Amino acid sequence: MFIYTNISIMSKPLIAGNWKMHLSEPQSRGLAEQVEAQAAAYADTVETAVFPSSIALSSVNSLVESTATGVQNIYFADEGAFTGEIAAAQVSDVADYAIVGHSERRYVFGETDETVARKTAACIRNHITPIVCVGETLHERQENETVQVLNDQISTGLTMITSEDVAGSVIAYEPVWAIGTGENAKPEDVASAARTIDRAIGEMFGRKTADQVRVLYGGSVSSETAGSYLDLEEISGLLVGGASLKEHEFKAIIERAANGGAETGKS
């Protein structure tokens, strides 16, 4: 299980690796061991988290100490006849985090902002920190609808939790057109989206709450591009997909975060 170090977790950038539907259980353990060595080496300055496929979540969790673990998706009910789903209650002892509303869930599996709200509430109820993903499609960006989309996703997605819960939650800004495409969002656009998210949370829950929420960026991040996002004061870390499956890439991203990225200023 993940062990917190004595430096305030809020001041550390969070580097989260979403392994999606990749790797067998033994392969997941192998990659987790490599990540753990790097996470332990930089534990004072970076928080590292991995999101294995649920078949490997428990075994990965049992072999890491300096790496947090999370689940890629949960269902919003705590138990019941929901074949194939996983309840937050079932993973609360092995998952520090849960990704909620990932764009692949929204656009491949039809999840709505209302579903996201219910899943976020299920995380909080079960003491799992939600990483709520928001972001516009390419069409929405081209139509200048990014601000509206982010406002809607935030206002509905966080509607079922309290300001105290929101303060401890994480938001990942993941423009849909940048996920798994190799397209890089411009850092100034990421900063602007993060400010929109911050403003929306501030209006809903108050400035004090907004100041505590960590906002990550995700979308085709590599070791080459990580620094340009980590240097943004609006960004508190990264949600990394494809590059997190490559041991050397992910280790290099953790190292980049340790070497001066993401002075978030949030506490």
In the complex, least distance from residue 219 CB atom to ligand PEP, rounded to whole angstroms: 5
With CB under 6 A as the contact rule, the residue among 10, 124, 221, 254 that binds ligand PEP is 221
* Contact (Cβ atoms closer than 8 angstroms) between residue 70 and residue 37: no
Our measurement of the distance from residue 208's CA atom to the centroid of its chain's CA atoms, rounded to an integer in Å, reads 21
Write down the catalytic residue from 47, 104, 111, 174: 174
Task: Specify the residue, 105 or 205, whose C-beta has the smaller distance to ligand PEP.
Answer: 105
Task: Specify the residue, 70 or 209, whose C-beta has the smaller distance to ligand PEP.
Answer: 70
Does position 237 interact with ligand PEP (CB under 6 A)? The reply is no
Active site residue 102: yes
Rounded distance between C-alpha atoms, residue 192 and residue 189, angstroms: 5
Task: Specify the residue, 102 or 214, whose C-beta has the smaller distance to ligand PEP.
Answer: 102
With CB under 6 A as the contact rule, the residue among 3, 26, 62, 180 that binds ligand PEP is 180
Does position 43 interact with ligand PEP (CB under 6 A)? The reply is no
Active site residue 139: no
For 176, residues 6+ apart whose C-beta sits below 8 A from its C-beta are 103, 106, 107, 135, 136, 137, 138
Does position 64 interact with ligand PEP (CB under 6 A)? The reply is no
Mind giving me the DSSP string for 157-219? HTTTS-HHHHHT-EEEE--GGGTTSSPPPPHHHHHHHHHHHHHHHHHHH-HHHHHH-EEEEES
The helix or strand, by DSSP H or E, that contains position 122, with its residue range, turns out to be helix 113-125
In the complex, least distance from residue 138 CB atom to ligand PEP, rounded to whole angstroms: 14
Which residues are near ligand PEP by CB under 6 A? 18, 20, 102, 174, 179-180, 218-221, 239-243
